[in-house]
Amino acid sequence: MEAAEVTIAHLPLGEVVCAWGAETVRDVMPRLSGVICHLVVRGGAGDRARVFRSSQVLRADPDLMLDMLPGGSDGLVVAATTKAHHLPVHRPLVVQEDDDITGILIADVAPPVRATPRKGSVDARELAMATMRDAMKTYRKEAIPIVLDIRDGRVEGDGQTLSDVLQILLNTALESARKRQELSCVHVFLSQGDSGLWLVVEDRSGRLDEEAQRALVAGTPSQHKTVLTYRALKERVEGDQGSMTCQPSPWGVRFIVCLKAPERLQGFRSS
């Protein structure tokens, strides 16, 4: 599938429960299972909805109407056919197909290619740790092991591609772990190498199905969300003069990214 054909429905979406504002907390409690992490409350026609984490709802008074729940986020409802490269900036996005709410997009999956050139370089280790800070809190809270091997290095430009790719791969691995409900683990490796700055993210949440593995290795057509996410990110990385590959493994999938380093660091290896 061409990148331009990818819609929001193909991206790794969080699972949701949808309810009306007139319902009570007690009404939705049985539907907030372990893999459901958000509740979407609709108030009627329109493109807005309120979004709550399940934990917020489960702590509330069971007899409270959902319209009266404090907090939550203002979600924007978009059609499932919306192209991934034309998504609104607003987050979260609540995905609607016909009359059904089918998922939620919290973070970007295919950040737009920047229009302005960048100069200089940034500390890749510092940037990676800052990017992972919130993700690591979520992983710890949900008891999903994450193993880090983050070494010194620099990346050319402002590092936005490194930050975006790392955040998206961590979000994708998290959604995969939630859906599979298996013992999962994520490994993140960052190091300076001869060719540039290397980022490896290995998602060990379970072996991909045969169709997805063939698509990753041979480039065959696929609607699998991991495949579509990889192809969108690959296009972004290559647009930044980098490279990206994906290797299925018996435990899941390994993403390997090489980003351009400053010329004075070419051939330097971090230890």
| The length of the chain, given as a count of residues | 271
Give the strand pairing for 186-192 and 146-150.
parallel
Tell me the pLDDT of the chain (271 aa) as tens digits.
Answer: 444 467 888 777 878 899 999 999 999 988 885 555 789 998 766 678 999 988 888 888 999 999 999 888 888 999 989 887 777 878 889 999 888 898 888 765 444 444 444 567 889 999 999 888 877 888 888 888 889 999 999 988 888 889 888 988 888 887 777 776 566 788 999 999 888 999 999 988 777 777 888 888 788 888 777 788 888 888 888 888 899 998 888 788 899 999 988 764 444 455 5
Look up residue 110 and give its two tokens: 């295919």
Domains located in the chain, CATH noted:
3-105 (3.10.580.10), 121-265 (3.30.565.10)
Per-residue model confidence (pLDDT) at position 45? 61
Over residues 144-164, the pLDDT tens digits come to 888 999 999 998 888 888 988
Dihedral sign for Cα 6, 239, 248, 200, please: negative
Q: How many CA atoms lie within 13 A of 212 on its CB side?
A: 19
Other residues' Cβ atoms within 10 Å of the Cβ of residue 184: 23
pTM over 0.85: no
Other residues' Cβ atoms within 10 Å of the Cβ of residue 67: 13
Place of tokens 């990818």: 6
Distance, in Å, from the CA atom of 137 to the CA atom of 255, rounded to the nearest integer, reads 22
Over residues 50-87, the pLDDT tens digits come to 999 888 888 889 999 999 998 888 889 999 898 877 77
Per-residue model confidence (pLDDT) at position 243? 94
Per-residue model confidence (pLDDT) at position 129? 92
H-only helix segments in the chain? 25-28, 54-58, 124-141, 160-180, 210-218, 225-239
Cβ-based neighbours of 259, under 8 Å, separated by 6 or more = 155, 156, 161, 162, 196, 197, 199, 237, 240, 242
